């Protein structure tokens, strides 16, 4: 028994070595394809994971060892709540915090400033306390002292002992850099100062952002949290520190999942390349396997042998892909940042690290796709009867089971049904499965479709008696649809995904452009530099802007935030001029709006973004209570509008209603409509000359559109890269499959040479076969890609990002890529056939037919 096992192992090694020596190029192509797919997916996973973990750790560090946090639904609340919390039974320590984003002159991002009670914070968050010099220990409570993290010092080019200039609304605030911070995460730009000084310097006397609570020993945290939440009501949110990570996860989850899925597109396409190459190799070696069966090799051993060949390709490709992915992730984090264009993880400097679980998953994926691509050919080879398989010309019979349409139709039907399934954990899992099933079903249907199309074309061409080359090509494709479909698998899968992603990206981009045109209806936009809730334009300053010569009308906006769910990011609240009778003039509504006559007395209208429908269940005409202005107010949802900026949700209301409810008369933005003959440059110069003009930022609609679309293109850079990868993989598939098939057809070409067909005509025959086959693949790819794009546009994107878009097809791009693939496939087929044509005609046909 031991000798038999040793013999089997020896035979296995011989067969593997022979296969490697005979078809080294094909094996290298398959390995490279798997490595590319695994590498891209692994790199995206490492980048997103490193950024998410670092960002979450940085956010958690702001809370220290607090058990609970009490926040208002609005950004700030009255500090009179603090004594109640500090003296509440079960609270061991309460630490008040004022957390504000402060504008920095000549910088495009705010600085996060934490106002803390140093004596309380030292016990809850010791890492975030300032470190004064030994000569000035009382700087921690000085009214002009600011402590900066290392990253903030570098960003502001500030040194200890120097000064920095910040901005409260339109007023400058100069503070002294008194030292650093005990400990901060790499890249975390934060500043710490005494809470009373922060309240005074930034005009927030008596206001807090949150209170961190440390509970006494033995207190049930969850029970305490629920009791406190019931006592405080909906105007406050009592959350645990773990909710910070939940908010971060929800904020970026859809983006991370979509990036991972897009990265796996290359791996998924590679599975079909492995299938096509392995199927061609198994068909070509059909007589060899039959001989091994005759000599005593069992079906189980033959199946294991073929699966082992595929597994080795998968192992080599997956291991190479892991190395490639790690290197790409390290380079991307070092030179291009951590968000891949998404912008979800600002202010962090993550480093790539080895992730055992992710590595095992992607290793398994690489091996799995190779085994998946090998399974069907291996089963056919093991089931084949030796006697018929030994005869030449039985290759197509081996592929006959592929022509069965029912599995393909079942995949297509199941995929269509899954498009109606709801999201799972805010992710369109069913949508992705539907895309995969449609792709698998479409490719599995190709043998039957190929036979039908080319038989019809062959009959029609035969009646016209035209080119002999075309006649031979059509006859070959019509009578060997299985082998033809294998060659087309890589082209079809890659072109389908190119069409689907191309339509999705074009639809999104054009929808964003249309949205910007609708949104940016003014001539000039003015804003106070990004400063969170530290202030804005006062009424007198608003009046000065509106009175500038050349200004016809100035529409002011106040932007704020509302926290409706502690586990979700805050919802944006925009107060602006909205005509209740015609809200569509200012908002891109997705349907009919509720007319003012439908509002009840005492109700205030709000217009909700599409994300509010998905995340909070808002509907037109729904009455709801929102915490605003220190009390719960009654609102009615008067309409749903499209928002491509805030996927976590946004509400808009009339600025007059906002000021009435909150008594906040400041503004953060202004949309300026110019009078006849007035120029934007002259008005901008006049506004710059105002006493507070240095604190303003000016933009014209064209500049905003250009910046937005630049960010859009950067966000989809990975998608464009994957489209290029899909093209390369498709061409690899054509090259590998045609190489195998043309070598296997040497005897056929030799017979043609004997009957007078020239080498040039045989090469033309191969080019015609490649062109016809690729043309059918492109046509089918267009149909299948369009169907998948409908899922991406109307299922995946709305479930992922909670916005809708209109459908747009980039015909020019698709036609251009189709032509490139068509020409490349013909050239590839010709190059692959040169070797087979070069074989001596007599030697090619000397075997027994």
Q: Does residue 732 register a pLDDT over 70? A: no
Contact 649, 616 (CB under 8 A): yes
Record the tokens describing residue 142, joined without a space.
Answer: 């000085």
Task: Report if residue 757 sits inside a domain.
Answer: no
What is the per-residue pLDDT for 848?
46
Which element (helix H / strand E) includes 265?
helix 242-284
69 φ, ψ (degrees, to nearest 5): -130, 135
Q: Does residue 849 register a pLDDT over 50? A: no
CA–CA separation, 726 and 720 (whole Å)? 10
Task: Report if residue 484 sits inside a domain.
Answer: no
Q: Work out the number of other CB atoms within 10 angstroms of the CB of residue 214.
A: 17
Q: What's the pTM value of the predicted model, to 2 decimals? A: 0.80
What is the per-residue pLDDT for 658?
93
What is the per-residue pLDDT for 22?
63
Residue at token pair 């008040």: 96
Number of domains in the chain: 3
What is the per-residue pLDDT for 557?
93
Higher pLDDT, 393 or 226: 226
The residue-averaged pLDDT of 551-578 equals 89
- Which has the closest alpha carbon to 786: 807, 813, 817? 807
Which element (helix H / strand E) includes 212?
strand 210-215
Most distant pair of Cα atoms in the chain: their distance: 103
Record the tokens describing residue 322, joined without a space.
Answer: 């892991």
How would residue 114 be classed by pLDDT, with cut points 50, 70 and 90?
Answer: very high
The residue-averaged pLDDT of 492-514 equals 87
Contact 396, 479 (CB under 8 A): yes
Are residues 88 and 50 part of one domain?
A: no
CA–CA separation, 593 and 605 (whole Å)? 11
Q: Does residue 115 register a pLDDT over 60? A: yes
- Which has the closest alpha carbon to 431: 810, 721, 787? 787
Are residues 341 and 202 part of one domain?
A: no
Record the tokens describing residue 462, joined without a space.
Answer: 């035969």
Helix or strand or coil: residue 198?
helix
Task: Report if residue 336 sits inside a domain.
Answer: yes
- Which has the closest alpha carbon to 370: 273, 283, 444? 273
Record the tokens describing residue 287, joined without a space.
Answer: 């007589």
Are residues 197 and 113 part of one domain?
A: yes
Task: Report if residue 802 sits inside a domain.
Answer: no
- Tens of pLDDT, residues 312-340: 888 888 899 899 888 888 887 777 665 55
Are residues 659 and 637 part of one domain?
A: yes
From the number of C-beta atoms within 10 Å of its C-beta (0-12, 13-18, 19+), residue 793 rates as buried
All residues at 6 or more sequence positions from 447 whose CB lies less than 8 Å from its CB, including other chains: 399, 402, 403, 481, 482, 484, 485
Record the tokens describing residue 660, joined without a space.
Answer: 């009435």
Are residues 670 and 537 part of one domain?
A: yes
Q: Give whole-number Cα distances, 9 to 4, 5, 6, 305, in Å.
A: 9, 6, 5, 10
Task: Report if residue 791 sits inside a domain.
Answer: no
Q: Which residue among 641, 672, 695 closes a domain?
A: 695
Helix or strand or coil: residue 462?
helix
Q: Which residue among 367, 398, 429 closes a domain?
A: 398
Task: Report if residue 773 sits inside a domain.
Answer: no
What is the per-residue pLDDT for 539?
92
Q: Does residue 548 register a pLDDT over 90? A: yes
- Which has the closest alpha carbon to 786: 503, 432, 371? 503
- Which has the closest alpha carbon to 96: 198, 243, 183, 176? 198
Higher pLDDT, 427 or 165: 165
Record the tokens describing residue 76, joined without a space.
Answer: 């700030």
Are residues 382 and 353 part of one domain?
A: yes
733 φ, ψ (degrees, to nearest 5): -60, -45
Task: Report if residue 506 sits inside a domain.
Answer: no
CA dihedral 620, 625, 628, 633 (to 10 degrees): 100
The residue-averaged pLDDT of 558-584 equals 88
- Which has the closest alpha carbon to 794: 385, 428, 470? 428
The residue-averaged pLDDT of 257-269 equals 67
Task: Report if residue 480 sits inside a domain.
Answer: no
Are residues 672 and 626 part of one domain?
A: yes
**Boundaries of domain holding 199:** 65-240
Q: Does residue 822 register a pLDDT over 90? A: no
Pairing of strands 524-528, 696-699: antiparallel
CA–CA separation, 404 and 444 (whole Å)? 9
CA–CA separation, 767 and 773 (whole Å)? 10
Are residues 187 and 100 part of one domain?
A: yes
Q: Does residue 544 register a pLDDT over 90? A: yes
What is the per-residue pLDDT for 511?
92
Are residues 273 and 157 part of one domain?
A: no
Q: Which residue among 670, 695, 720 closes a domain?
A: 695
Are residues 194 and 138 part of one domain?
A: yes
Are residues 180 and 109 part of one domain?
A: yes
Q: What is the DSSP string of 62-77?
A: TTTT-SEEEEESSS-E
CA–CA separation, 183 and 757 (whole Å)? 80
All residues at 6 or more sequence positions from 637 whose CB lies less than 8 Å from its CB, including other chains: 594, 605, 606, 607, 608, 618, 619, 620, 621, 622, 624
CA–CA separation, 808 and 788 (whole Å)? 14
H helix runs in 62-172, sequence order = 81-86, 118-124, 150-156
What is the per-residue pLDDT for 357?
86
Q: Give whole-number Cα distances, 43 to 322, 603, 718, in Å.
A: 8, 51, 11
Helix or strand or coil: residue 405?
coil
Higher pLDDT, 14 or 657: 657
Are residues 531 and 675 part of one domain?
A: yes
307 φ, ψ (degrees, to nearest 5): -65, -35
């Amino acid at each position: 028994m031991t000798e038999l096992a040793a013999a089997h192992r020896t035979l296995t090694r011989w067969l593997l070595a022979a296969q490697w020596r005979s078809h080294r190029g094909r094996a290298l192509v398959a390995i490279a394809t798997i490595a590319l797919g695994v590498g891209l997916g692994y790199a995206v996973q490492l980048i997103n994971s490193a950024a998410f973990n670092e960002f979450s750790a940085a956010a958690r560090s702001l809370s220290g060892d607090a058990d609970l946090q009490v926040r208002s639904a609005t950004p700030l609340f009255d500090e009179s709540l603090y004594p109640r919390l500090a003296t509440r039974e079960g609270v061991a320590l309460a630490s008040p915090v004022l957390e504000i984003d402060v504008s920095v002159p000549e910088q495009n991002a705010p600085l996060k400033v934490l106002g803390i009670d140093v004596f309380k914070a030292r016990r809850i968050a010791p890492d975030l306390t300032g470190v004064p010099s030994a000569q000035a220990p009382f700087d921690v409570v000085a009214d002009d002292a600011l402590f900066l993290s290392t990253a903030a010092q570098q960003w502001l080019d500030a040194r200890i002992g120097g000064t920095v200039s910040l901005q409260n609304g339109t007023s400058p605030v100069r503070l002294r850099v008194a030292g650093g911070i005990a400990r901060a995460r790499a890249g975390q730009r934060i500043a710490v100062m005494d809470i009373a000084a922060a309240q005074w310097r930034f005009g927030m006397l008596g206001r807090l952002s949150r209170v961190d609570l440390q509970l006494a020993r033995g207190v049930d945290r969850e029970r305490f949290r629920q009791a406190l939440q019931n006592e405080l009501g909906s105007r406050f949110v009592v959350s645990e520190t773990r909710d910070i990570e939940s908010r971060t996860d929800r904020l970026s989850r859809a983006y991370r999942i979509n990036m991972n899925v897009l990265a796996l597109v290359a791996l998924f396409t590679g599975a079909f390349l492995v299938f096509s190459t392995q199927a061609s190799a198994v068909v070509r070696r059909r007589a060899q396997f039959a001989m091994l069966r005759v000599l005593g090799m069992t079906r189980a051993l033959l199946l294991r042998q073929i699966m082992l060949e595929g597994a080795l390709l998968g192992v080599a490709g997956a291991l190479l892909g892991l190395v490639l992915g790690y290197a790409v992730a390290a380079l991307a984090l070092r030179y291009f940042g951590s968000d891949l264009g998404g912008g979800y993880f600002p202010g962090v400097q993550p480093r790539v690290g080895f992730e055992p679980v992710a590595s095992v998953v992607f290793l398994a994926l690489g091996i799995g796709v190779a085994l998946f691509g090998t399974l069907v050919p291996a089963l056919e080879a093991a089931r084949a009867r030796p006697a018929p398989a030994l005869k030449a010309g039985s290759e197509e019979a081996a592929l006959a089971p592929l022509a069965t349409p029912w599995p393909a139709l079942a995949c297509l039907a199941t995929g269509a049904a899954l498009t109606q399934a709801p999201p799972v954990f805010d992710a369109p899992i069913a949508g992705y499965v539907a895309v995969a099933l449609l792709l698998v079903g479409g490719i599995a249907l190709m043998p039957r479709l190929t036979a039908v199309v080319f038989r019809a074309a062959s009959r029609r061409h035969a009646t016209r008696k035209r080119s002999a080359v075309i006649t031979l090509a059509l006859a070959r494709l019509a009578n060997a649809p299985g082998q033809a479909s294998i060659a087309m698998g890589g082209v079809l899968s890659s072109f389908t995904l190119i069409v689907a992603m191309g339509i999705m990206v074009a639809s999104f981009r054009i929808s964003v452009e249309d949205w910007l045109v609708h949104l940016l209806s003014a001539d000039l936009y003015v804003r106070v530099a990004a400063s969170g809730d530290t202030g804005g334009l006062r009424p007198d300053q608003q009046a000065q802007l509106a009175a500038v010569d050349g200004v016809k009308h100035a529409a002011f906006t106040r932007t704020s935030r509302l926290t409706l769910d502690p586990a979700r990011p805050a919802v944006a609240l925009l107060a602006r001029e909205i005509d209740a009778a015609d809200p569509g003039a200012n908002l891109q509504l997705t349907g009919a709006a509720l007319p003012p006559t439908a509002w009840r007395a005492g109700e205030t209208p709000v217009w909700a973004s599409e994300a509010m429908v998905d995340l909070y269940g808002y509907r037109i005409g729904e009455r709801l209570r929102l915490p605003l202005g220190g009390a719960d107010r009654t609102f009615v949802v008067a309409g749903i509008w499209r928002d491509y900026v805030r996927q976590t949700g946004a509400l808009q209301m009339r600025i007059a209603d906002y000021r009435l409810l909150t008594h906040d008369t400041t503004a953060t933005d202004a949309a300026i409509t110019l009078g006849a003959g007035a120029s934007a440059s002259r008005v901008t110069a006049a506004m710059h000359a105002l006493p507070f003009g240095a604190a303003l930022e000016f933009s014209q609609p064209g500049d905003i559109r250009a910046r937005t679309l630049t960010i859009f293109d950067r966000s989809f850079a990975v998608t464009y890269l994957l489209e290029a990868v899909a093209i390369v993989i498709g061409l690899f598939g054509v090259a590998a499959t045609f190489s195998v098939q043309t070598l296997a057809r040497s005897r056929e070409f030799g017979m043609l040479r004997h009957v007078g067909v020239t080498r040039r005509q045989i090469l033309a025959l191969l080019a015609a076969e490649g062109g016809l086959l690729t043309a059918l693949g492109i046509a089918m790819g267009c149909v299948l890609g369009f169907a998948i794009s409908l899922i991406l546009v109307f299922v995946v994107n709305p479930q992922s990002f909670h916005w809708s878009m209109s459908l747009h097809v980039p015909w020019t791009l698709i036609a251009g890529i189709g032509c490139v693939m068509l020409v490349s496939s013909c050239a590839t087929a010709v190059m692959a056939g040169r070797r087979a044509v070069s074989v001596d005609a007599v030697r090619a046909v000397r075997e027994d037919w």
